[in-house]
């Protein structure tokens, strides 16, 4: 039989559930930025609280401002610099394509295209068809103009949204640094209340996994940037150091490095250095981009204390399900699931 307190308790549970749903709905458009801010905070909190903050006399607002400024210098300024460099490169690409737009394609395709296996014959036939008719050339240009315009607009929208999300990350992380001790205590208390000793272990495992994933991302980016810089220097590509730093920053996204070494290969080919262009393309494909497939899972697995299989599956599955933030969420979820399963299987059955 229902007691008099049951309707009241049911109403309290319903109100709490509605409150949770409302909070999630409000934060949903910014959940990625908020989670990434927590990732940055977790990865740097130990150094900040133990090294930087004591030297500032414990002034939390000043420390949070300095850390946020440091993140701006590390994340935002290089992004803007690379955007300006890419815009300048786009201008050069337009100037390179201008003679072809005015006079049409040359009669014969570039050396080596017709000799490509499987597709060389089709490329050669299509090239002669377009080069032999101005009307056909104009038709192809018109067909390409629409997708190119849509691609440019989409890239601009992505870049604008990325800058907005980055600004939101910096805004949130400032308050995480300023109130970091309270946040740390609240997380520890909540984990202890929810799961006791197991909850604390899960919180520590989450922190270790996030640190491991960040180590893998930054370490892989550094390796790709260094190897790319070496390749650019060998091939004689100008501003090799700048392109190496660009590879470092763009390696955070899956298609980032090919944009750099592919552009370098295209520039070498346009300069008539076909051999170096082929070298750059092969070097980029087999060396620069391949590092991501080997070094990243190894560093992540070592930093997080997990097997390479779990890290690889967590990163790939997390990205497919959650987007960029899934790079961290996927391994964390698998790490916690693995820890719970291991703990459960080690428990002895009652006699």
DSSP 182-197: HHHHHHHHHHHHHHHH
- pLDDT tens, residue by residue, 45-72: 888 888 888 998 889 899 899 999 988 8
Tell me: the pLDDT tens digits for 200-247? 888 888 888 888 888 888 888 888 888 988 988 998 888 788 788 888
**Nearest Cα to Cα of residue 173 among 67, 252, 32:** 67
Contact 331, 209 (CB under 8 A): yes
Least confident of 56-60, 78-82, 112-116, 274-278: 112-116
Beta-carbon contacts of 304 under 8 Å, excluding residues fewer than 6 positions away, are 208, 209, 211, 212, 213, 311, 331, 335
- Work out the widest C-alpha separation in the chain, in whole angstroms: 92
d(CA 309, CA 302): 12
| 294 C-beta neighbours (distance < 10 Å), count | 12
Q: How confident is the model at residue 285 (pLDDT cuts 50, 70, 90)?
A: confident
| Least confident piece of the model among 60-64, 181-185, 194-198 | 194-198
- For residue 202, what pLDDT is reported? 83
The larger pLDDT score, comparing residue 268 to residue 127, is at 268
Residue (of 38, 26, 28) closest to 175 by Cα position: 38
The residue whose two tokens read 């997380």 is 187
With b for 16 or more beta-carbon neighbours within 10 A and e for fewer, the 48-78 pattern comes to: bbeebbeeeeeebeebbebbbeebeeeeeee
pLDDT band at 294 (very low <50, low <70, confident <90, very high): confident
User: Whose CA is closest to 39, among 158, 188, 217, 200?
Assistant: 217
Q: Is the confidence at residue 77, as pLDDT, over 70? A: no
Both tokens assigned to 291: 């590092």
Give start and end residues of each alpha helix (H) in the chain: 5-27, 31-47, 53-55, 60-71, 77-103, 120-131, 134-178, 180-235, 240-250, 256-270, 274-283, 289-304, 308-322, 326-346
Q: Which residue has the higher pLDDT, 277 or 147?
A: 277
Q: Which of 46-60, 71-85, 188-202 has the lowest average pLDDT?
A: 71-85
Q: Is the pLDDT of residue 1 over 50?
A: no
Cβ–Cβ under 8 Å, residues 245 and 260: no
Closest CA to 201 of 346, 313, 317: 346
Nearest to 257 by CA among 290, 294, 235: 290
Rounded Cα–Cα distance for residues 158 and 23 (Å): 26
The Cα–Cα gap between 347 and 152 comes to: 57
In angstroms, the CA 278 to CA 259 distance is 16
CA 182/CA 314 separation, integer angstroms:
30
Distance in angstroms (rounded) separating the CA atoms of residues 35 and 10: 32
Closest CA to 159 of 79, 222, 101: 79
């Amino acid at each position: 039989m229902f007691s008099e307190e049951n309707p009241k308790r049911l109403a309290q549970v319903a109100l709490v559930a509605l409150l949770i749903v409302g909070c999630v709905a409000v934060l949903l458009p910014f959940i990625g930025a908020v989670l990434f801010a927590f990732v940055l905070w977790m990865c740097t909190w130990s150094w900040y609280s133990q090294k930087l903050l004591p030297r500032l006399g414990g002034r939390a607002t000043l420390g949070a401002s300095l850390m946020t400024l440091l993140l701006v210098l590390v994340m935002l300024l290089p992004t803007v610099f690379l955007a300006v460099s890419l815009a300048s490169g786009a201008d050069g690409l337009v100037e390179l394509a201008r003679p072809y737009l005015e006079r049409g394609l040359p009669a014969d395709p570039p050396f080596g295209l017709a000799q490509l296996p499987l597709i060389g014959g089709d490329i050669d036939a299509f090239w002669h068809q377009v080069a032999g008719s101005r009307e056909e050339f104009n038709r192809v240009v018109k067909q390409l103009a629409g997708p190119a315009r849509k691609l440019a607009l989409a890239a601009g929208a992505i870049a604008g949204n990325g800058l907005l999300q980055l600004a939101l990350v910096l805004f949130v992380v400032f308050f995480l640094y300023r109130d970091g001790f309270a946040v740390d205590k609240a997380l520890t208390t909540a984990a202890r209340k929810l799961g006791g000793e197991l909850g604390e272990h899960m919180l520590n495992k989450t922190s270790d996994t996030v640190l491991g994933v960040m180590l893998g991302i930054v370490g892989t980016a550094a390796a790709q940037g260094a190897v790319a810089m070496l390749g650019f220097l060998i091939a004689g590509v100008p501003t090799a150091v700048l392109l190496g730093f660009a590879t470092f920053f763009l390696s955070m996204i899956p298609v980032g490095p090919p944009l750099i070494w592919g552009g370098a290969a295209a520039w070498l080919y346009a300069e008539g250095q076909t051999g170096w262009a082929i070298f750059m393309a092969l070097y980029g494909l087999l060396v620069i981009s391949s590092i991501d497939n080997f070094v990243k899972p190894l560093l992540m697995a070592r930093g997080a204390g997990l097997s390479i299989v779990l890290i690889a599956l967590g990163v790939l599955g997390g990205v497919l399900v959650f987007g960029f933030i899934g790079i961290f969420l996927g391994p964390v979820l698998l790490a916690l699931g693995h820890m719970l399963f291991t703990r459960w299987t080690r428990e002895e059955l009652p006699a």
